[in-house]
């Protein structure tokens, strides 16, 4: 069986980077210093990101997921602590909290933008709350000014899950810099995806940065080997990845702009479909980053089939709210409900939006969506 | 053509420079393996999935064949593999795991990261592994598992450990991170109990060019849970299958997926692993021949004869010496790299201070920390370089 002609996950992501990939692996493998992890290349990559963001520090690590765990541990959040997280999103939002021994408390999301609702977050704060952890979703940044105000008012810490939003800017402040610490993810599907797993912690707090640096490498202080000051992880960054990403950084702005242009076009085309039960995301560029272009469709499964028949691959992020997943059921308060998260799970459908889509392909996809008869469920 | 020149240069450079002996390099081996590595990297690009993809699947299958393990789960590091193994083998929060007081920190930190409690016991001074006779006094009603570590060149006393584990109803999980190629009575390291791990840290016998590791097990349940935990607790098909990212999350898991470019390098190196192990044995024998009866050298590696057949794999050539830190400085001043495995025993690490251990509690572990030093040992090493290292050591104690 051959896949769709316009797959959701493009298999040719780095076909144009073949020489770069081969050269990078060969160069690092043969290099005089024979240093493969957390070396000079990683330091240069961190510096380049730091400069771009205007952040005090960027610490590269094993993945976006482990970046969240590193921040939680750096803030000494653990058993007995609660962390407020969105009820709709990727598993690490809740798993990172559980894995450091703390308790996730789920807050419902906005029915259209699918980012966490400030009033739901505020309602979830108790005397045990150590932090709130809003997440940017698909193409929309969470309401960070309000989150910051909430964190200040209730004296809890603010962790920004900006794994999907590298390159977004809200009110002049880049994603990753609204929280006391934020994260990036470089897994291939992301806007700054790479040839392997990787992530980063972004922070202006020198103490968090120093602790994260120790925690990512077994609690060592970078001076004395094999002396372990805290129980840490192995969450390091490979030199091959650092060199590859440093090269790719130059084209990032262009690729992000291309994604935004595709999104602009889609949204304009899909605006009239609202009355047929297909809702595009809000238009606009502020606080936006087009990692995933997600529609909300009343007859989602039919639309998915309709598009598949026309060679357009799609994906359902996420079919189940976090509190309804077996891993987190024990943390789902029995007297709380997350109706907007459930609705999002039932209606969401993501379209291809990778930057190497041609204009003609983008039109084909939009035409296919517009050809869906729609109508009430 | 330009590539060929670089590769030839790497080979020549490594062979010619007997004066400088780095603690580790794999440049010449990498250059020799490059045609296979390049072909594998092209396969990664063709496959289009850069982590947890087709090359990782192929590496797992090849490694399963090599080790005889029924299940191989490729992950991001040996440390992650330990955490996943402990959780997959059923460790519950607060339960205790018996570990040696002398090892890399991950042996004990993995237990803490899995929400268990490490309990230290002293080591056998010859194998540097858990002394089974020291285990009974560490047992409490919370003890659930025992984690022997196989360090440097040989396996722990797995018969003794099996016996003590049976007596106290403990699950055996093996920190076999260093033990690829080692067998106990025909069974590969890591496969005696619930499971084991492998580390592919670059200096390892089978090394990537970055972090990578694996869980190995013959227990299908342990294999299945470990595989789910590395991918956010998602069961069902995720390997080489993008849509698996939306599978239901059944367990609070991690992201510990292996990179396909690392699998590409590892697959290429796996093809020469047995030859590399044989080369290590030759070099180890050369060290032993030259350092036997050398003044100042307290102990050379000794492979213990067991009642069953075992085989040594010289991952590390570790000796114990007088005035260790001075010798290390002397060798460094003469261009010879060494590594001190390990300067501080686990019970005296700051991160375990709250366990309240004192100096003198585990004398064999403490003696090893005071005297042990690892000499350069890797397939790229030449016998001329071994001569150079040994002459410097002899010169220092003369």
- The string of pLDDT tens digits covering residues B220-247 is 999 999 999 999 999 999 999 998 988 8
pLDDT at B78 over 50: yes
Q: Which of residues 288 through 327 in chain A touch B, CB cutoff 8 A?
A: 315-320, 322, 325-327
CB A291 within 8 A of CB A281: no
Which helix (H) or strand (E) is B195 found in, with range? Answer: strand B195-199
* b/e sequence B84-112, b meaning 16+ C-beta within 10 Å: bbbbbbebeeebbbbbbbbbbbbbbbbbb
Q: What are phi and psi of B299, to 5 degrees?
A: -155, 135
B230 and B171 housed in the same domain: yes
| Domain count of the fold of chain B | 2
Greater pLDDT, B376 or B12: B376
Last residue of a domain, one of B233, B255, B270: B270
Determine which of A97, A218, A231 to mutate to test the interface with B (most B C-beta atoms within 10 Å).
Answer: A231
Residue by residue, DSSP assigns A283-294 as P-STTB--S-EE
pLDDT at A374: 74
DSSP at B354:
G
Mean of per-residue pLDDT scores for chain A: 96
CB contact under 8 A, B262 and A315: no
* b/e sequence B192-208, b meaning 16+ C-beta within 10 Å: bbbbbbbbbbbbbbbbb
pLDDT at B246: 86
CB contact under 8 A, A231 and B113: yes
pLDDT, one tens digit per residue, over A131-150 is: 999 999 999 999 999 999 99
B145 and B171 housed in the same domain: yes
pLDDT at B305: 96
Q: Where are the beta strands (DSSP E) in chain A?
A: 57-61, 82-86, 103-107, 129-132, 157-160, 169-170, 173-174, 181-185, 199-203, 278-279, 293-297, 348-351
B263 and B309 housed in the same domain: no
- Give the chain B residue whose CA is nearest to the CA of A14: B45
Q: Which of residues 249 through 278 in chain B touch A, CB cutoff 8 A?
A: 249-257, 259-262, 264-265
Residue B147 belongs to domain with CATH number? 3.40.640.10
pLDDT, one tens digit per residue, over B107-134 is: 999 999 999 999 999 999 999 999 999 9
B197 and B239 housed in the same domain: yes
B78 and B203 housed in the same domain: yes
CA separation for the pair A34, A41 (Å, rounded): 12
pLDDT band at A4 (very low <50, low <70, confident <90, very high): confident
B339 and B362 housed in the same domain: yes
pLDDT at B10 over 80: no
- Tokens 């993945």 label which residue? A63
pLDDT, one tens digit per residue, over B369-398 is: 999 999 999 999 999 999 999 999 999 999
B293 CB neighbour count, 10 Å cutoff: 6
Residue among A65, A231, A236 whose CB faces B211 most closely: A236
Last residue of a domain, one of B249, B270, B291: B270
CB contact under 8 A, B259 and A234: no
In angstroms, the separation between the Cα of residue B397 and the nearest Cα of chain A is: 26
* b/e sequence A265-292, b meaning 16+ C-beta within 10 Å: ebbebbeebeebbbbbbeeeeebbbbbb
B249 and B320 housed in the same domain: no
CB contact under 8 A, B7 and A30: yes
Residue among A37, A187, A232 whose CB faces B109 most closely: A232
pLDDT at B9 over 80: no
CA separation for the pair B171, B145 (Å, rounded): 5
pLDDT, one tens digit per residue, over A39-96 is: 999 999 999 999 999 999 999 999 999 999 999 999 999 999 999 999 999 999 999 9
pLDDT at B15: 44
Enumerate the residues of chain A whose CB falls inside 8 A of the CB of residue B49.
11, 188
B41 and B174 housed in the same domain: yes
pLDDT at B35 over 50: yes
B297 and B388 housed in the same domain: yes
In angstroms, the separation between the Cα of residue B148 and the nearest Cα of chain A is: 20
CB contact under 8 A, A197 and B51: yes
Q: Give residues with Cβ within 8 angstroms of B354, minimum separation 6.
A: none
Give residue B136's Cα distance to chain centre. 26
Last residue of a domain, one of B214, B242, B270: B270
pLDDT at A375: 66
B266 and B285 housed in the same domain: no
Enumerate the residues of chain A whose CB falls inside 8 A of the CB of residue B104.
226
The answer to whether A236 faces chain B, any CB pair under 8 Å, is yes
The answer to whether A42 faces chain B, any CB pair under 8 Å, is no
pLDDT at B18 over 60: no
Q: Which residue range(s) make up the domain with B333?
A: 2-13+21-27+272-397
pLDDT, one tens digit per residue, over B175-192 is: 999 999 999 999 999 999
pLDDT at B12 over 70: no
Give residue A231's Cα distance to chain centre. 26
Angle at the Cα of B85 (from A224 to A327), degrees rounded to 5?
A: 110
Q: What are phi and psi of B132, to 5 degrees?
A: -55, -30
Q: Provide the 3-class DSSP secondary structure of residue B18.
A: coil
Q: What ipTM is given for this predicted complex?
A: 0.96
pLDDT at B55 over 90: yes
CB contact under 8 A, A230 and B37: no
CB contact under 8 A, A18 and B109: no
CB contact under 8 A, A99 and B252: yes
Instruction: Please state the rounded mean pLDDT for residues A109-124.
Output: 98
- Tokens 């592994």 label which residue? B129
B230 and B306 housed in the same domain: no
- Tokens 């509690």 label which residue? B361
B253 and B277 housed in the same domain: no
Residue B339 belongs to domain with CATH number? 3.90.1150.10
pLDDT at A3 over 90: no
């Amino acid at each position: 069986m051959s896949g769709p002609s316009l797959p959701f996950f493009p298999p040719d992501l780095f076909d144009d980077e073949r020489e770069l990939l081969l050269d990078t692996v060969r160069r690092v493998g043969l290099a005089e210093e024979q240093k493969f992890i957390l070396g000079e290349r990683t330091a240069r990559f961190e510096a380049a990101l730091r400069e771009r963001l205007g952040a005090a520090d960027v610490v590269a690590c094993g993945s976006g997921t482990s970046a969240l765990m590193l921040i939680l541990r750096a803030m000494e959040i653990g058993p007995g602590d609660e962390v407020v997280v969105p009820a709709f999103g990727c598993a690490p939002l809740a798993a990172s909290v559980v894995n450091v021994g703390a308790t996730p408390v789920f807050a419902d999301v906005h029915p259209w933008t699918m980012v966490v609702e400030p009033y739901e977050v505020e309602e979830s704060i108790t005397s045990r709350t150590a932090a709130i952890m809003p997440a940017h979703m698909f193409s929309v940044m969470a309401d960070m000014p309000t989150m910051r105000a909430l964190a200040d008012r209730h004296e809890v810490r603010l962790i920004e899950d900006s794994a999907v939003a590298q390159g977004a800017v809200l009110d002049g402040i880049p994603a990753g810099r609204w929280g006391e610490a934020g994260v990036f993810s470089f897994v291939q599907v992301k806007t700054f995806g790479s040839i392997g797993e990787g992530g980063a912690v972004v922070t202006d707090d020198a103490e968090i940065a120093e602790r994260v640096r120790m925690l990512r490498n077994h609690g060592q202080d970078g001076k004395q080997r094999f002396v372990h000051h805290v129980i840490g992880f192995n969450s390091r960054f490979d030199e091959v990845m650092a060199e590859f990403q440093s090269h790719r950084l130059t084209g990032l702005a262009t690729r992000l702009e291309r994604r935004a242009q595709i999104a602009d076009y889609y949204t304009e085309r899909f605006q009239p479909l609202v009355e047929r039960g297909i809702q595009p995301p809000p238009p606009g560029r502020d606080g936006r980053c087009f990692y995933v272009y997600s529609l909300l469709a009343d007859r989602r499964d039919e639309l998915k089939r309709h598009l598949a028949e026309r060679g357009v691959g799609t994906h359902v992020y996420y079919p189940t709210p976090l509190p309804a997943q077996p891993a987190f059921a024990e943390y789902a308060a029995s007297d709380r409900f997350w109706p907007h998260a459930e609705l999002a799970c039932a209606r969401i459908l993501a379209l291809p939006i990778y930057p190497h889509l041609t204009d003609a392909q983008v039109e084909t996809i939009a035409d296919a969506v517009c050809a869906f008869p729609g109508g009430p469920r | 053509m330009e590539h060929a020149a670089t590769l030839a240069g790497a080979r020549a450079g490594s062979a010619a420079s007997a004066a400088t002996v780095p603690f580790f390099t794999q440049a010449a081996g990498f250059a020799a393996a490059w045609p296979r590595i390049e072909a594998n990297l092209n396969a990664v690009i063709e496959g289009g999935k850069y982590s947890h993809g087709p090359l990782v699947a192929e590496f797992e299958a090849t490694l399963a064949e090599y080790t005889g393990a029924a299940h191989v789960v490729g992950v991001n590091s040996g440390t992650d593999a330990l955490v996943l193994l402990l959780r997959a083998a059923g460790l519950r929060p607060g339960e205790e795991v018996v570990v040696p007081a002398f090892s890399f920190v991950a042996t004990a930190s993995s237990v803490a990261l899995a929400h268990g409690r490490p309990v230290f016991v002293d080591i056998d001074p010859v194998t540097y592994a858990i002394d089974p006779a020291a285990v009974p006094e560490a047992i409490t009603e919370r003890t659930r598992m025992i984690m022997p570590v196989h360090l440097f060149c040989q396996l722990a006393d797995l018969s003794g450990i099996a016996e003590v584990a049976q007596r106290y109803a403990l699950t055996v999980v093996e920190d076999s991170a260093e033990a690829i190629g080692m067998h106990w009575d025909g069974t590969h390291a890591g496969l005696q109990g619930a499971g084991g791990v492998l580390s592919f840290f670059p200096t390892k016998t089978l090394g990537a060019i970055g972090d990578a590791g694996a869980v190995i097990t013959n227990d299908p349940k342990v294999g299945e849970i470990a595989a789910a935990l590395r991918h956010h607790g998602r069961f069902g098909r995720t390997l080489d299958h993008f849509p698996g990212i939306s599978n239901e999350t059944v367990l609070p898991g991690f992201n510990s997926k292996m990179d396909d470019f690392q699998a590409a390098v590892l697959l290429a190196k796996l093809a020469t692993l047995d030859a590399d192990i044989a080369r290590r044995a030759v070099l180890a024998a050369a060290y032993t021949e030259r350092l036997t009866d050398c003044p100042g050298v307290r102990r050379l590696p000794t492979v213990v004869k067991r009642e069953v057949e075992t085989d040594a794999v010289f991952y590390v050539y570790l000796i114990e010496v007088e005035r260790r830190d001075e010798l290390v400085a002397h060798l460094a001043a003469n261009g010879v790299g060494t590594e001190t495995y390990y300067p501080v025993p686990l019970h005296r690490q700051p991160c375990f201070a709250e366990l309240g251990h004192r100096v003198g509690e585990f004398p064999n572990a403490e003696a090893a920390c005071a005297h042990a030093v690892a000499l350069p040992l890797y397939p790229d090493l030449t016998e001329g370089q071994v001569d150079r290292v040994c002459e410097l050591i002899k010169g220092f104690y003369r």
